[in-house]
Amino acid sequence: MPRRPSRTVPTVLLPAPAGASGDDWQAWLAARLAEAGREVRLASWPAPEAADLAGCLAALRQSLAGLPDLGFDLLAHSAACLLWMHHAAGGEADSAAAADSAAAADSAAAAGSPDAGRLPRPDRVALVAPPAPDRQLPAWDFLRPVPLAVDALRRAADGTVLVGGEDDPNCPGGVARVYGAPLKMAATVIPGGGALGAADGYGPWPAVLDWCGRDNLAFLA
């Protein structure tokens, strides 16, 4: 019998938008975590022909609603990593929603609870195979330009790690140079990993299950 994860916090999965990359490992991971009794939330994006940044950010926020602050993990794949960067940087929040959130935060602060009214933050985030910022993404180019906001990403979660294939065709130059260096963030580079999708042999992926089962941030390839 395979070892089951010992970590018990909920897990949020942000799959690659349709057409961006294969995501079979997330379906496999969701099943394994559910078998271990873990809560799993798999985000669902608008159809490509109707998708825009505001709609995708709203779907992401819905996936986070009600989770404990710094009490869950989040894994994003491919273009969903770019969406997370937009979320961390503030995105294109609807003005009315932003006003409501600000009002709630002000009210909470007055009551001595400054974190109320804000979206919960993950304890750990893994950004898997993010495409390069200048990579063309048919039907998803609204994700560009990509906000490489170091401080915002650090505030968005307690810890974030990058994971990428050494030969990812969507990220020429490699995840460590393209994202790790400018973001001052740890990166795990997987030799021969490609885009870390189903077509690259990443359906079942024991390493990602292992990461979900441990408490530390490091991703062990």
The answer, yes or no, to whether the previous bond of 17 is cis (omega within 30 of 0) is no
Indicate whether 15 belongs to any domain. Answer: yes
In a domain, 70, yes or no: yes
pLDDT in tens, 73-98: 999 999 999 999 999 999 644 323 33
Encode 128-158: b = buried (16+ Cβ within 10 Å), e = exposed.
bbbbbbebebeebebbbebbebeeebeebbe
Is 4 domain-assigned? no
Domain count, the chain: 1
Closest CA to 162 of 65, 60, 53, 84: 84
Residue 219, domain member (yes or no) = no
Q: What percentage of the chain exceeds 90 in pLDDT? A: 74
Is residue 1 a part of any domain in this protein?
Answer: no
In a domain, 2, yes or no: no
Read off the CATH number of the domain in which 150 is found.
Answer: 3.40.50.1820
Q: How many Å apart are CA 167 and CA 129, to the nearest integer?
A: 10
The whole-model pTM stands at 0.86
3 occurs within a structural domain: no
Range of the domain at 192: 11-213
* Residue 6 belongs to some domain of the structure: no
Residues 7-63 pLDDT 10s: 999 999 999 886 555 567 999 999 999 999 999 999 999 988 889 999 999 999 999
